[in-house]
A = this chain, B = another copy of it.
């Protein structure tokens, strides 16, 4: 396997598709939001991406099966009947070259299937302490989309520095393909899994994407994931050679799979 490949279901008809990307990253904010929306909407599997730029290991599942690391696409329709495609997954590419190749590939693919708008979700951490009432920050490729997100409560102009990985590269690549794009970030205090920041972003996404997802379940995830995180930590102490590949790698967290 020498190239990144995307397999998808051409039979699913899309209408004005918006891509919502939640991959492993800061505070797991993106993963939490994407998994939660997928679960609450019973989104339908749309496609799968494999890449030689992912880490060189496979996942053992509870049922005794193994599977490759992947990023997965799911489809559902919002209240207006427009297509939302969720992109989530186990990992991000682990090299610079991989980041450019895979994010470029995703943007091109989404353009090809008729995509209009790309939102990535991430975390933005300012302090080390827990954020009681997290704000939602945004950066975007043009003024039109900044205005739209601002009118839905996303704060612009308060962030600086760099955004690593898909959360930052996908919006810029998407805009090169003529798509609208933005990165929406929940304020987080460096928790490994910050369901509180995810909730803040979800509230904004309900308006932006014209969906109606109950965020209360995220509290449940928060408690569950904290409990599982501890178990995981103990397992990896006993068993360091079955290491977890990346900080956002949560194979034991059944709920957010």
Q: Which residues of A contact B (CB under 8 A)?
A: 1-2, 26, 52-68, 94-97, 99-101, 103-104, 124-128, 138-142, 146, 156-157, 159-165, 168-169, 171-173, 183, 190, 235-236, 238-239, 241-245, 251-252
Q: Which residues of B contact A235 (CB under 8 A)?
A: 160-161
A56 near B244: Cβ-Cβ < 8 Å = no
A251 near B62: Cβ-Cβ < 8 Å = no
B160 near A104: Cβ-Cβ < 8 Å = no
Q: Which residues of B contact A66 (CB under 8 A)?
A: 139-141, 163, 168, 171-172, 183
Q: Which residues of B contact A60 (CB under 8 A)?
A: 139, 159-163
Choice from B146, B190, B245 contacting A64 with Cβ under 8 Å: B146
Q: Which residues of B contact A94 (CB under 8 A)?
A: 96
Choice from B140, B157, B242 contacting A125 with Cβ under 8 Å: B242
A65 near B141: Cβ-Cβ < 8 Å = yes
Q: Known A-B contacts: A60-B163, A65-B140, A68-B172. Give 14 more (CB < 8 A).
A: A1-B103, A53-B96, A55-B96, A59-B162, A60-B159, A60-B160, A63-B157, A64-B157, A65-B141, A66-B172, A66-B183, A67-B172, A125-B239, A161-B244
Choice from B58, B162, B183, B190 contacting A245 with Cβ under 8 Å: B162
Q: Which residues of B contact A128 (CB under 8 A)?
A: 238
Which residue of B is nearest A90, CB measured?
A: B162
Which residue of B is nearest A97, CB measured?
A: B52
Task: Give the 6 A-B residue pairs with the shortest CB-CB distance, closest first.
Answer: A64-B156, A56-B99, A52-B100, A58-B168, A161-B242, A1-B104
Q: Which residues of B contact A126 (CB under 8 A)?
A: 238-239
How many Å from the CB of A91 to the closest CB on chain B? 10
CA distance A36 to B112 in the complex (A): 43
CA distance A162 to B65 in the complex (A): 12
A52 near B96: Cβ-Cβ < 8 Å = yes
B241 near A58: Cβ-Cβ < 8 Å = no
How many Å from the CB of A111 to the closest CB on chain B? 13
How many Å from the CB of A25 to the closest CB on chain B? 9
CA distance A168 to B65 in the complex (A): 11
B64 near A140: Cβ-Cβ < 8 Å = yes
